Amino acid sequence: MRAKPANELLQAAAKLGRAFGFGPNIDGYFLPTDMHTIYAQGAQSHVPLLAGWNADEGKMMVLYSPQKPTAQSFADQARERFGDQAGEFLKLFSAKTDQEAMLSAEALANDDFIVFSTWKWTNMQVQTGKSPVYQYHFDEVPATKPGAMAGPIPASELGSKHAGEIEYLFQTLKSQEGVPWTEDDFKVSDAMSSYWANFVKSGDPNGGNLPKWPPYDSQDQFQVMRLLGSNIHSAPEPDRARFEFFDAQSKKTMPKSAGASE
């Protein structure tokens, strides 16, 4: 088979008309089939997994949108997207008032962007994997420079945004001049770097005087590590019903060949 020039491949991809995005390349060698099928069959690598997300992963998408959600618009969009399941959706994402609709829209943006897919990954590993899973929720809101803006929005309003944990994990908070970091910020940074270093060395984030991080599994109410400087602790997963709803919805549109063993 003739290898195609890079420019030819790029031109072919451009004709697909897709928006910004990326996905795995099912090449029949490294990745023999879709990821869902691999995990459903237990054919993934059986190594420890540490994964999670930030509290406000998709909040900026709602804040940047010129059209803000209202109780009415959020309910209308729910009916359009979920049909006869909209009532069940609105029990999980309450929108009785405009303020509730705004908060639910932010939570939905989180889930649609990266949270649900990460949850699905960790849960499929729990179901068919043979090594422990550790899940975290990064809840610390990074400090921002006084008056700093993120486009048209004050940077302080973005919350615990996507990629906001990176400076904490790599202990580079002090590299940002003029940011009023607090004791809690450095407490989270020290804990995260220690947890991750332990995991790299042994496949287990625990060690030393760190708060205990239990494995994420059904036998212990799916405990997750809450990374918040004022209270680093483990607790049962708070939004499982939400993710199970999305999981049920996704299975309705999934090709029968994907995850057929489930």
Domain locations in the chain as residue ranges: 46-253
| Beta strand segments in 46-183, E | 49-54, 133-138, 149-150, 153-154
**pTM, whole model, 2 decimals?**
0.90
Q: Which two tokens stand for residue 87?
A: 């009532």
Q: Which two tokens stand for residue 165?
A: 């944990």
Does the 46-253 domain belong in CATH 3.40.50.1820?
Answer: yes
Residues 172 and 191: their CA atoms lie apart, in Å, by 14
Residues 72 and 3: their CA atoms lie apart, in Å, by 53
Q: Encode the chain (262 residues) as per-residue pLDDT tens digits.
A: 566 688 887 787 777 766 656 677 888 988 999 999 999 999 999 999 999 999 999 999 999 999 999 999 999 999 999 999 999 999 999 999 999 999 999 999 999 999 999 999 999 999 999 999 999 999 999 999 999 999 999 999 999 999 999 999 999 999 999 999 999 999 999 999 999 999 999 999 999 999 999 999 999 999 999 999 999 999 999 999 999 999 999 988 776 655 544 4
